[in-house]
Chain A
Amino acid sequence: MSETSSNNGARPVGSGAKLVYVSSVVLLCAWVIVPIYFLLINTLSSPETVNSFPKSFFPEFDFGSLHFFAEFSGMITALKNSITVALLTMTMSILIGAPAGYALSRFDFVGKNLFRLLILLTRAFPLPLLALPLAVMFIQTGLDDTTFGLSLVHTTLAIPFSVLITFSLFSGIPLELEEAAWTLGCTRLSAFRKVVLPLILPGITASAIFAFVISWNEVFAAAVLTIENRTLTAFLLQNLGTSPLHLKFAGGFILVMPALIFIFAVRKYLFAMWGIANR
C-alpha cells in the first residue's frame, strides 16, 4: 500500500497518508494491547502492589496473586471444568460440524440452501431466551449441572461456525482430486482419508480451536446451567463482587491467555477464512 503511494511521486500526500496509517495502527494496537498489558502486570504482581496506588508500569514477577488464585477454594475445579467443557465442545463440534460441512460442499440435496440458512439462524436466538427452557429441560433429563450438559449447549453455539468454516475449506479442495483418488482404487472413505484429510487438517484444527475458544469464553449458559460444576467464567462472575482485586486480575489473565494463544496460532486460517489475503 505505502509503496504504491510513494511510487506515484505524490510525496507530501504519501507521507501524510503514511502518518495517518501509522498512527491508526499504533492506536489500534494500543487499544488491544494496553488492557492486556495491565492485566499481565497486575497478575504478575504481589497482592499488595495490586491493591496499592500508584501503579507500576513493569511487572515485578511476583507469583503471589497467581498463588492466591490457585489456592482460592473452587478455583482449580472451575479451571478444570472450563477445560473439560471446552475440550468436549471442540470434539463434538468437529465431529458433527465437519461431516455437515463436507456434505454441504460435495452433495446436492433438496433444501441445501435452507439448511445453510437454518445453521446461521441458530445464532439468531439470544441465549438468555433459550436458557430458561433449557435449564428446565436439563433438570428433567438430569443433564443440569454437568460438564457434559454445558458442553452440549456450547457445541450448539460452536457448530454454525464449524460447519461454515469446514464447508468453505472443503469447497476449496477440488472435487477432481477426490475423483482421481476414486479412479486410482480408493473408496469414498479412503479417498477422504488419503487426499482430503491431509489437505484439510490445518483448517480443521483452526476450526476446532475456534470452538474451544467459543466455549472457553461463554459465560451466560454456564452461569445458568451449572451450580456446583461451574466453569471459570461463571465462577469468576459469581465471585466478582466479593473477591479481592488481585484475584480478579489473575482470573482475568487465566481467562484471556488461552484465547489469545489459540487465536494467534490459527490467525493464518482465520484470515484465509474471512477472505483476507495476508501474503
Chain B
Amino acid sequence: MAEIEIKNVAKNFGAYEALSDINLTIADQEFMVLLGASGCGKSTLLRIIAGLETASSGEVWIGGKRIDHLAPKDRGIAMVFQNYAVFPHLTVFENIGFGLRMKKLPNEVVRQRVEKVAELMHIEMLLSRYSGELSGGQRQRVAVARALAMEPDVILMDEPLSNLDALLRMEMRAELKGVLAESKTTAIYVTHDQVEAMSMADRISVMHQGKIIQADTPIQVYRNPSAKFVASFIGNPPMNFLPASRSGTKWSVAGAKFTGPETKIDILEFAVRPEDLKSADNGICATVKIVEPLGAHLLVTCTVEGHLFRVVMDSDTSLKTGQIITLAPQANRIRWFDPETALAL
C-alpha cells in the first residue's frame, strides 16, 4: 500500500516561492501525471517527495506514514532524474544493478532483474558499455531501467522519455504503463508532453507557478477545465475565448446569442474547443486569417472581433484567406469562465 499524501507543502528558494499550498492525494497504484510549463515547480515537488529537497512547510505521507524526516533511501521510492544521472564510472549493467547491490541481493537475482528491465527498455545489448558510450536516449532508458529494477512502492519519473524519438516513445509509454500496473507501483510522472499525459495518466495535475490548478482525470481536465489557465494550457490548439455580455436572459457573444449560466456577474468569458465548432448558417462570424492543412484536419486561424479564434475543420473544406465564415459551437461543449477570478462557472 503506497498512497501518497502531500499536505500544505510549500517551498521557498530565498524570496522566490517555487511551490505554495500544494495539497494532493495520490491513491495506491495510481498513475499521476504532473503537467505544467517549464519552471512551474514539477521537479521541485518530485524532489521534495524523494527527500532530496526539504519543504519549507507542510507534510509528506507515504502509505500512512509521515516520511518527510526520512532519508531518501528509507522512503521506499525510486526516481528517474531529469538529467538521467547515470554513473559514469560503472557499466550499464552495474548502473541498473546499483540499487540491488545496495540491498545486498545475491548475484543471480541481480543479474535476472537487470536483464529483465534492460530487455524492457530495449538496452539489453548495451549492458557492458559505459555511460560515455551511450546516446542521450539510451542513457535515459538506463536511468528508467535503474529505477524500475528497484521494484519500489513509489516511482517518481521526471520527464523519463523526453529524449526518445516519437516512435520509441510511443512504444516505451505503453510498456512503462504496463509494467507499473503489473507491479502495482504508485507512479508520479512529470512531462511536458500533453499526449503522453493524456494517454498514460489515471489523473493529471496541472501546475502553474508553483500551484496545482486542477487534479482530475484526463478527460475531465480536457472537457471541464476548472480554470482558464487549464483551458488555455491543455489541448493543441487550446480552447478559444471570447468575451460575453448579458443580453436579456441570454448571453451575447460576437453577435450570437447563447444560453449561459445563472450568475450575478454581467461580463463572462465564453470558451469552446476548436474541434467543437461547425460551419453553420448562423452563429459566430469569423474572418479567416491562416489555413494550415494538418493531414487529417484543417487548422483554421480566424479573428472574431479582433480576438484570435481557431477552428479545426474537415480537410476537404476549401477556404480562402479573408473569407468570412459562420461558426456554430456544439451547445453542450461550451464552457464559461469568470473573467475576474479566471475560474470556471
Binding site for B on A (CB under 8 A): 174, 176-177, 179-187, 190, 194-195, 198-199
| Nearest residue, chain B, Cβ from A185 | B102
Does B150 lie at the interface of the complex (its beta carbon under 8 Å from any beta carbon of A)?
yes
With A185-B73, A187-B71: A180-B102 Cβ-Cβ less than 8 Å: no
Provide the residues of chain A in CB contact with B79, threshold 8 Å: 180, 183
Q: Is the CB–CB distance between A177 and B71 below 8 Å? A: no
Contacts known (A185-B103, A195-B87); A180 close to B81, Cβ less than 8 A: yes
CA distance A184 to B145 in the complex (A): 12
Q: How many residues of B contact A (CB 8 A)?
A: 21
Main secondary structure of the interface of A (DSSP, over half): helix
Residues of B56-80 at the interface with A, using a CB-CB cut-off of 8 Å, are: 71-73, 77-79
- Residue from the set A184, A185, A195 with the largest chain B CB neighbour count within 10 Å: A184
* CA A256 to CA B103, docked complex, whole Å: 50
Q: Which residues of A contact B51 (CB under 8 A)?
A: 182-183
Contacts of A185 in B (CB 8 A): 73, 99, 102-103, 150
Cross-chain pair count, CB within 8 angstroms: 56
Given A184-B98, A199-B89, does the pair A179, B83 have CB atoms closer than 8 Å?
A: no
With both chains docked as a complex, state the minimum distance between the C-beta of B198 and any C-beta of chain A, in angstroms: 28
Chain B residues whose CB sits within 8 angstroms of the CB of A190 once the complex forms: 102
B50 CB contact (under 8 Å) in A183, A186, A199: A183
* Residues of chain B within 8 A of A186, CB atoms compared: 73, 102
B85 within 8 A of A: yes
B89: chain A residues within 8 A (beta carbon) = 195, 198-199
For residue A191, which residue of chain B has the nearest CB? B73
Asked whether, in the complex, the Cβ of B81 is within 8 Å of the Cβ of A179, the reply is yes
B85 in complex: contacting residue of A174, A187, A198, CB < 8 Å:
A174
Of A176, A180, A187, chain B has the most CB atoms within 10 Å of the CB of A180
Report A13 CB to chain B, min CB distance, Å: 40
Residues A176 and B81 in contact, CB atoms below 8 Å apart:
yes
Contact of B102 with A177 in the complex, beta carbons under 8 Å: no
Q: Which of A176, A183, A187 contacts B77 (CB 8 A)?
A: A183
Q: Is the CB of B102 within 8 A of A184?
A: yes
Q: In whole angstroms, what is the CA distance A181 to B72 when docked?
A: 9
A94 to B196, CA, bound (A): 50
- When distances are taken between beta carbons in the complex, the residues of chain A under 8 Å from B39 are none
B77 proximity list for chain A (CB < 8 A): 183
Measured CB to CB, the nearest residue on chain B to A178 is B85
| Complexed CA–CA distance, A184 and B143 (Å) | 11
A135 to B99, CA, bound (A): 54
Closest approach, in angstroms, between the C-beta of B297 and any C-beta of chain A?
Answer: 41
By a CB distance below 8 angstroms, the chain B residues around A180 are 79, 81, 85, 87, 146
Docked Cα-Cα span, A35 to B106, in Å, equals 60
Whether A182 contacts B52 by the Cβ 8 Å rule is yes
A245 to B341, CA, bound (A): 93
In the complex, A137→B150 CA distance in Å? 58
Complex alpha-carbon distance, A85 and B88, angstroms: 36
Q: Are A199 and B88 neighbours in the complex by a CB distance under 8 Å?
A: yes
* CB-contact partner of B99 in A179, A184, A187, under 8 A: A184
Sampled A-B contacts (26; CB under 8 Å): A174-B83, A176-B85, A177-B85, A177-B87, A177-B88, A179-B50, A179-B72, A179-B81, A180-B81, A181-B87, A181-B98, A182-B52, A182-B71, A182-B73, A183-B51, A183-B52, A183-B73, A183-B78, A184-B98, A184-B99, A184-B102, A185-B103, A186-B73, A190-B102, A194-B98, A199-B89
B48 CB to nearest A CB, Å: 13
Are A179 and B102 in touch, CB under 8 angstroms? no
The minimal Cβ–Cβ distance linking A66 to chain B, given in whole angstroms, is: 43
Q: How far is the CB of A177 from chain B (nearest CB, A)?
A: 5
Distance A99 CA – B71 CA, assembled complex (angstroms) = 21
- Interface positions, chain B 71-127, Cβ under 8 Å from A, are 71-73, 77-79, 81, 83, 85, 87-89, 98-99, 102-103
Name the residue of chain A whose CB is nearest to the CB of B99: A184
Q: Which residues of B contact A176 (CB under 8 A)?
A: 81, 83, 85
A182 vs B87: C-alpha distance when bound (angstroms):
13
Give A183 to B83 CA distance when docked, in angstroms: 15
Cα–Cα, bound, A49→B87 (Å): 59
- Tell me, in angstroms, the Cα distance from A187 to B103 when the chains sit together: 12
Contact of B73 among A177, A187, A195 (CB under 8 A): A187
Q: Which residues of A contact B52 (CB under 8 A)?
A: 179, 182-183
Q: Name the B residues within 8 Å of A187 (CB-CB).
A: 71, 73
- A194 vs B98: C-alpha distance in the bound complex, in angstroms? 10
Residue of A nearest to B50 (CB): A183
9 further A-B pairs in the complex, CB-CB below 8 A; given A176-B81, A179-B52: A174-B85, A180-B85, A183-B50, A183-B51, A183-B77, A184-B98, A185-B102, A185-B103, A195-B89
